[in-house]
Amino acid sequence: MEMHFSIDSLRRYVAGALQGGGYTPAASARVRDVPDTRAIRYYTTLGLIDRPASMEGRTALYGKRHVMQLVAIKRLQATGLTLAEVQSRLTGLPNAALSKIAKLPTNFWDASPIDSTSEEGVSPDEERPFWGELPSEAVESNKNVRRSIRVELHPGVELLVDVADAGAKPVDLERIQIAAAHLLKELARQRLIDAGQ
């Protein structure tokens, strides 16, 4: 049976895999040695890693493939590749090919995740809203974006999405607006927008 774990355990697995496998982090100060939860979510929106395997209430659960994807991303970034280049190499790879790039240590899955109290190389995420700013990796990846889509969610509120695939299918604006309803309610609650419009 496939094992599923939280985003924090996902980070611990990734940190453990990178610590034990001859990994030298990217030279760029903008690229984290181990991705934080904001970067993981950002990678998901870019399609660099798969969406969560399942949900338990409001908690996203991840699996072994997600660990391999994140470790592969970090290993490729360490060679100097941009996120756009990493994406072109990893998109759609089967697990066997992904495993070769990730180079997980032997018997990696037999061990339990690293205890969060003794974890090295991964500091707890700072308390900041997910939408507040892009992770540092996003700044570099935006250099390679081919087109943008602007979606008006509400008068004065626009969503700008950088799309890496210039041949992407047409956008279903109505579904995006429906999905943004909770964000708009929160913006109205905080009196950042007029709820009556």
Which of the four CATH numbers 1.10.287, 2.40.10, 1.10.1660, 3.30.70 does domain 7-122+135-141 have?
A: 1.10.1660
pTM of the model: 0.57
Confirm if 39 and 32 have CB atoms less than 8 A apart: yes
CATH 1.10.1660 residue ranges of the chain are 7-122+135-141
Q: What is the tens place of the pLDDT at every residue in 42-82?
A: 888 888 899 999 888 888 999 999 999 999 999 898 888 88
Q: What is the tens place of the pLDDT at every residue in 123-133?
A: 444 444 444 45
Confirm if 88 and 121 have CB atoms less than 8 A apart: no
